[in-house]
Structures are given as structure tokens and as C-alpha cells.
Amino acid sequence: MTTSTAATRSLDFETVFGGPPTVTAQAPGRVNLLGEHTDYNDGFVLPIAIAQHTRVAMRRAPDNVCTLYAARLGETVCFTLDEAPTEHFASYVYGCLSEARQTGIDVPALDIHVSSEVPMGVGLSSSAALEVATLRALRELTGAPLDDVHIAQLAQRAEIEFAGVNCGIMDQMASSLADTTHALLLDTRTLARRRVPLPRGSAVLVLDSGVARTLAGSGYNQRRAECEEAARQLGVKALRDIDTVASLDALPQPLRRRARHVVTENARVLKAADCSDPAAFGVLMNASHASLRDDYAVSVPELDRLVDLLQDHAQVFGARLTGAGFGGACVALCDSKALQRVAQEVLAAFSREGFTGRLLVPPAAGA
């Protein structure tokens, strides 16, 4: 049983449910500095958390029906734990509850309130933030023995099984374990990780290209299938196991180009993790964008133009698309004292060319 209603304005938990929540938890979105499309190839990634969070408040429901209210959407969905809701946003929450039940956690019917500052649909992992925040709240409510890595793993399975996105684990690990002052160098095969400080004097800027994208409906799953086929033809478990571009010569196109991106991107991540010079780090970001554009074919003209404008700015060390591509956002490493200036000048130039971009990170005052 699932029902859905829409409201005209955002409401708080007490207004929706007639009383306070028992627990509240939150999780951040993330931006990926380097390591795009390497996570599902057992490779290396370098994400960092952003300041915007998703918050989930919950309490036990008085009957066997879960009621989920999404403040940003102004929508309410009711469902039972035995039947998945049809609404896409609710599938992320239901998937987390279902995966928790699969591990033996006694998940009760719940009243759930979701609010979020994480921009949606631009590659900043709003879905992972929702999943991790939901599982954190459930952990606090039930006392379930879930550590932060286990939460990330359950969240990943929820997105694959219930939202239809065959994702790697980077987004969920970043939302569960990263902070805003260090990048997280993550080996997605072993989950070995360490925090990496940003190069001195640098800071992260994220701009939206104005081109919407949806992961499940994009070429994301196709790219993953191409990588898996390339690995099969090369006789390895994953493209992570290939060290040199020369090893790819036997592959037909476009598999060779897809694999070349993964091999070179892994090398860029490992080099960046030990890089204290912002200019050298920026060179790696620029090379990553060229590879995503030419070898992986996940950029679009608007993204390319926004990246060009960022790369040409004197206070920008390097820039690239971030997220799965096919629209969404660009990330730049900038002089930490010039973030607002860079954002204003680049977005103004982007607008003069007929495009509509916006500042995402750092969030604008009052956003």
C-alpha cells in the first residue's frame, strides 16, 4: 500500500506529525575532485564533503504504516515496509529501511521528515546524503550496531536495488566519512582510505552548468557496462588491475577509450593525493576533464564552456566536470581568497554567452 499527497509549502516535523521527532540525523553532499567513473572499476577516488546537508528526523509510527514527508518537494508518501513505494524519491528511503531489515535490524513503521540543502540533479550526491542520513537516524533510533562503513555499504545497495542506479560506493563513503576540510582518498576495492588536506591557499568552488541530468536515465549504466566488457576482454576482474595504457591496445573502440580514461584517471588520483602544490593539482584536474570529454564522452557543450571559462581565470588552478556528467556541475580549485570573485566573473561571462549557471559551493549567504 502506498499513497502520495502534495502540499503547497514546506512544513516542519511537528506540524506534519503532531509532535516532535525522537531522533534527527544529517549527512553532507559531496563533490569529487578527481576519480570520476573509477569507483565502479574498483579504482581510486578523491571526494570532499560540502557544507550543505540533508537532515532526516524520525520516530516510531503508531501503526504499521510509514509516513514520509519531503519538505523540499512538499510531498507526503505513505507505505508499508512490505511494499516499495512508487514515488522515486521515496524509493531511496524505503531502500535503506529494506536493506537494514535484510541485515537483521528490527525496523519499525516510522514517521519520517526529510529536509535538504544539497542541490539536486547536479552531481553533488543528494541521493547519498539522503541515504546516509536515513540510516544514521535509524541507527540512533534503534541502537543498531552499524558503523560508518556499514552505513555506506547499505546505502549503496539501496540505491542499486531500489533506485535503479548501478553506482559504485564513492558517494556513500564520502557522505558517511568525509569532511569539508580534507579530501578523502579512497580505494574502492579495499575501502582503505586516508584524509588528504587541500593544497595550501586553495579552496573548492562548484558551479552549476544549468543543464539538468538524471543518473538513472543517462548513459551512466551504459558506461559501466562498457568498462565491465573491457575488463572481461582483458581478462581482469576490473580495470583497476590495468596499470599501463599500452595494455589496452587489443581493445576495440569505444572500449579502448573508456578503459584509457579509467587507467589514466586512477593515476591522476594517486598523484594528486600526494600533491601539495595547487597549480600541479589543477593540471591534473584539467587533464581529467579532457579525458572525461574525449575518452569517456560524458561531457556536454555547456559543461565544456563553463570549464573553459574557469580554466582561463587567473585565480583558478584547475577545473573539470564533476559527477557522472551529461550535465550538472563543474568543480574548480581556486585561490582561497578569490572564490566569490571567480564565481561572479565566470558566471557573468557564462551568462553573456546565453547560458544560465549558478553558484553551488560555497553556498551563497542565506541560501
Alpha helices in 115-254 (DSSP H): 126-142, 148-163, 170-177, 220-234
> Of 39, 111, 171, 208, which one is the catalytic site residue?
171
Residue 171 bears catalytic tag: yes
Look up residue 73 and give its three cell numbers: 518537494
Confidence band of 60 (pLDDT split at 50, 70, 90): very high
How much of the chain, in percent, has pLDDT values that exceed 70?
95
- The answer to which of 206-215, 237-246, 290-299 has the lowest mean pLDDT is 206-215
Confidence band of 9 (pLDDT split at 50, 70, 90): low
For 311-330, write each residue's pLDDT tens digit: 999 999 999 999 888 888 99
Helices 255-273/278-294 angle, 10° precision: 170
> Residue 27 is inside which H or E element, if any?
strand 23-34
For 216-256, write each residue's pLDDT tens digit: 456 888 999 999 999 999 999 999 999 999 999 999 999 99
C-alpha separations of 83 from 64, 78, 97, 127 in Å: 12, 11, 11, 21
Q: What is the mean pLDDT of residues 104-112?
A: 97
> How far apart are the C-alpha atoms of 120 and 132, rounded to whole Å?
16
| Homologous superfamily (CATH) for 199-361 | GHMP kinase, C-terminal domain (3.30.70.890)
Q: Is 365 helix (H, G, I), strand (E, B) or coil?
A: coil
Q: Are 113 and 56 in contact (CB under 8 A)?
A: yes
For 153-162, write each residue's pLDDT tens digit: 999 999 999 9
The correct CATH number of 2-194 out of 3.40.50.720, 3.30.230.10, 3.30.43.10, 2.60.40.1180 is 3.30.230.10
Task: Reply yes or no on whether the pLDDT at 3 is more than 70.
Answer: no
What integer pLDDT is reported at residue 296 of this predicted model?
97
Segments making up each domain of the chain, as ranges: 2-194, 199-361
